Amino acid sequence: MALIVQKFGGTSVGNTDRIKNVARRVAKYRAQGDQVVVVVSAMSGVTDGLIKLAKDIVPLPAEREMDMLLATGEQQTIALTAIALHSVGVPAVSLTGAQAGIITDGVHTKAKIQNITPKQVHQLLDAGNVVIVAGFQGQTDDGHITTLGRGGSDLTAIALAAALKADLCQIYTDVDGVYTADPRIVPTAQKLPEIAYDEMLELAGSGAKVMQLRSVEFAKKFNVVFEVRSSLNENPGTIVKEETNSMEGVVVRGVSLDKNQAKVTLFGVPDQPGKAARIFRALADAAINVDMIVQNVSHAGGAPATDLSFTVDKPDLLKASNVINTLRAEIGFKEAATDESIGKLSIVGVGMKSHSGVAAKMFDVLAQEGVNIGMISTSEIKISVVIELAKGESAMRALHKAFIG
Ligand code: ADP
Ligand code: ASP
Ligand code: MG
C-alpha cells in the first residue's frame, strides 16, 4: 500500500465536471489499495476574482484580510471535491490548511511554512478516508490565516508529501508536464521526461509558472521527487529530481519569459556608501522581493550620483513605489520612475556549467531580432535579460529555435 499526494491545480478543478473527473482518478488509485491525500487549488479564476473585489474597494488592501479572503477560494474546492468523492462511493474528508497542521510565519500573502503536524491527516487516512487539503493556506501559531504566495498549492502538496513521507507526489495540471518552454507561447516546445531540481528552480524563478518557485526550493531541500502531469489524460509526465551526470550533455534545457516583473529606477542617487543598503533594507522590511539590480556609472559633473534600477513582482510595484517615496528626502535621489512594460527572458541548463559561448550566442540571436537588452543577470546555469515586453514572445521563440529547435 502506497501513500500518494496528488495536487490538482485551478484548471483541473475549474468546473464541476472537472471536479468529478478528479474524483474518478482519485477513486482509481484508492481502489488499488493506495492511501491518497488530495491537495486542491481554487477553481480557475476564483483567486483573481477575489483579488479584484478587494482592489475595487482600495488599491492596497490589508494583507491579513487578503489572506482571510483568498483562503475561501480553496475552501470551496475542498468541500466540492469531497462531495464528488462521496458521489462515487469513496469516503473523503476535507481539511483547511490549518486543520491539516500547516503552521507558517506571519508574513501575510507570502507566508513561509515553518512546520507541519499532520496528526489529523494520519488519523483520517488510517480510518480509510481520502483526505482533501486546501492548498495555498496555513495559519500562524497564534491562529491567523495565511497564504503561501501565488501558485502556493504546489508548495502545500510538496510540503505535505515531505511531512507524510509519501511514496509518490503527483502535480496534476493542464499541460502534460514541464516543457522546454511554455507550450502556449512556443508551439515547438518539447515535453521533458525529467529535469533537475536546479533547472526547475531557475525556470520557475524566471516565469515558467508550471511550478511555484518556493515549492521547488522545498522539494530540493527535502529531496521530494515529484511528477508534473496532466489531469486531462494518462500520458506520463515529467519527473523532477536530483541532477544526474547525463543531464549535463544538454546545454539549454529550457527557455522562459517572466511577464510579471516591473522595473523601478531611481535617478540621481548620491554616490555614497550606505545608500543602496538603506533602499534595499526598506524594501526587504516591507517583504518585497527584489530580483535584478543594475547601477550605472556615476554622472560626470556636479556631485557624484548614480541611477539605480531594480525589478520587483508586478503586484508589489505599488507597495515598492510607496516605500521609495517615503525614502526620497532621506536618500536624496532626484526622481523615481516605474516601468511595467518589461519582460525577463531566460535560458536555463545545467550544461552551461561546462560549455562556453552561451551568452554570446544568446545576445547574437537577440540582436538579429532587433531586441535591446536593458539588464542582464547570470547564475552558473542561467542567463536572464530584461527586454521590452512587446518583443518578449517572439524573442522567446527565436531563442528556443536557436538553442533547442
Ligand atoms: P495549475 O493551475 O495547474 O497550477 P498553472 O497555470 O499554474 O497550472 O501552470 C500551468 C501552466 O504553466 C501551463 O498551462 C503553461 O501555460 C504554463 N507554463 C509556463 N512554462 C511552462 C513550461 N516550461 N512547461 C509547461 N508549462 C508551462
Ligand atoms: N489559488 C491560488 C492562486 O491562484 C493558489 C494556487 O492556485 O496554487 O495563486
Ligand atoms: Mg500553478
In terms of Cα–Cα distance, which of 171, 141, 150 is closest to 159? Answer: 171
Retrieve residue 76's grid coordinates: 470551496
Say which DSSP state 43 is in. P
Q: Angle at Cα 392 formed by Cα 391 and Cα 394, nearest 5°?
A: 70
Average pLDDT per run of 10 along the chain, which is 405 residues long?
Answer: 97 98 97 97 98 97 98 98 98 98 97 97 98 98 98 98 98 98 98 96 95 98 98 97 86 96 95 94 96 80 86 96 95 95 97 92 97 94 97 98 96
Query: Where are the chain's structural domains?
Result: 3-174
Strand, coil or helix: 69: helix
Looking at residue 178, its pLDDT comes to 98
**What is the pTM (predicted TM-score) of this model?**
0.94
Neighbours of ion ligand 3 (CB under 5 A): 9, 151
Lining residues, ligand 2, CB within 6 Å: 9-10, 41-42, 47, 73, 135-136, 150-153
Q: Judge whether 157 and 116 are in contact, CB under 8 Å.
A: no
Residue to mutate (ligand 1; options 153, 171, 210, 213; most atoms within 8 A of CB): 210
- Phi and psi for 244 in degrees, rounded to 5? -120, 160
**Residue pair 130/91 in contact by the 8 Å Cβ criterion:** yes
The binding-site residues of ligand 1, defined as CB within 6 angstroms of any ligand atom, are 9-12, 41, 151, 173-175, 178-179, 181-182, 184, 203, 208-210, 254
289 CA distance to ligand 1 middle (Å): 22
Cβ 151 vs Cβ 157: under 8 Å: no
Q: Which run of H or of E encompasses 35?
A: strand 35-40
Task: Please tell us whether the domain made up of 3-174 is placed in CATH 3.40.1160.10.
Answer: yes
